[in-house]
């Protein structure tokens, strides 16, 4: 018969009366108390980064969207164009020609532009950000929309 380990320890008198189990549970409670006390002393950021370091970080949803979304067939390099009006017209053309989009063309085009800006984040230079914000304004003009609409 195979032996299995358990929390109940034999206290030497030949029978397992539960005293060893109490000792093991006390030790476990003390360990948890120490662990929690240390965690409280550290910041929440440290705690979260410790958890994330122990797991393989999942792929971000935005990366998946960038790689697999086919709602609009965008011209290659559309966001690198220097003229904001050309960016807006290209997005408008793509949105109006697409039959796979779920919302109206204006919303699809604006969403794609906003998604690109947000995805770039801090890596987007100030001049690029300004150019893309102007492209948003041009897109609004192209669809006869006002900024708050």
* List of residues 6+ apart from 91 with CB closer than 8 A: 72, 74, 78, 109, 112, 113, 135, 139
Q: Over 90: is that where the pLDDT of 133 sits? A: yes
101: left (phi over 0), alpha (psi -120 to 50) or beta: beta
Mean pLDDT, range 124-147, rounded to an integer: 92
Both tokens assigned to 20: 């060893």
Both tokens assigned to 70: 């086919």
Q: Over 60: is that where the pLDDT of 137 sits? A: yes
SS3 content of the chain, % helix, strand, coil (to 5): 65, 0, 35
pLDDT score for 66: 60
């Amino acid at each position: 018969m195979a032996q299995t380990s358990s929390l109940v320890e034999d206290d030497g008198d030949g029978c397992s009366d539960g005293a060893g189990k109490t000792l093991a549970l006390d030790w476990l409670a003390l360990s948890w108390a120490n662990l929690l006390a240390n965690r409280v002393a550290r910041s929440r950021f440290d705690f979260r980064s410790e958890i994330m370091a122990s797991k393989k970080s999942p792929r971000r949803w935005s990366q998946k969207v960038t790689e697999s979304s086919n709602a609009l067939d965008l011209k290659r390099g559309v966001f690198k164009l220097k003229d904001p009006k050309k960016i807006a017209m290209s997005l408008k053309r793509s949105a109006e020609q697409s039959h796979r989009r779920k919302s109206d063309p204006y919303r699809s085009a604006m969403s794609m532009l906003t998604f690109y800006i947000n995805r770039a984040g801090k890596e987007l230079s100030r001049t690029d950000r300004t150019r893309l914000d102007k492209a948003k304004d041009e897109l609004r003009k192209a669809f006869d929309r006002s900024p708050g609409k």
